Amino acid sequence: MSTTAENIQRQISENPILIYMKGSPQLPQCGFSAQTVQALMSCGERFAFVNILDNPDIRAELPKIANWPTFPQLWVEGELVGGCDIVVEMHQNGELEKLVKAAAERAGAAEGGDNA
């Protein structure tokens, strides 16, 4: 049986764009998660999510691993981008879309997409 920390590391490494949030993209359970996922969705790329309300072990462990105390948390290509304030600011200045599209493009190329 793998540990929670191992599960988190696997999720982060297997998903080029991943958000740990309260609720789901279709039904966020807090305002910060709603704002963050809305900014992410506006980039037009697919992303994975983990509902921390359904995963109390991840909710407890991830802040220690990430050294980031709050949720949501956006991870792109294995790196913590940040939480709501950072993601919304990046969305407003155009950085988020560039970051997300580049990650999605690299992930597509790695999977043998058109750019391979």
Cβ 20 vs Cβ 54: under 8 Å = no
Q: Is 71 annotated as a binding residue?
A: yes
Q: Is 84 annotated as a binding residue?
A: yes
What is the C-alpha separation between 96 and 83, in angstroms, rounded?
Answer: 12
Q: Is 101 annotated as a binding residue?
A: no
Q: Is 43 annotated as a binding residue?
A: no
What is the C-alpha separation between 68 and 72, in angstroms, rounded?
Answer: 10
Q: Is 85 annotated as a binding residue?
A: yes
What is the C-alpha separation between 16 and 9, in angstroms, rounded?
Answer: 12
Q: Is 22 annotated as a binding residue?
A: yes
Binding site listing for glutathione: 22, 59, 71, 84-85
What residues form the annotated binding site?
A: 22, 30, 59, 71, 84-85
Instruction: Cite the annotated binding site for [2Fe-2S] cluster by residue number.
Output: 30
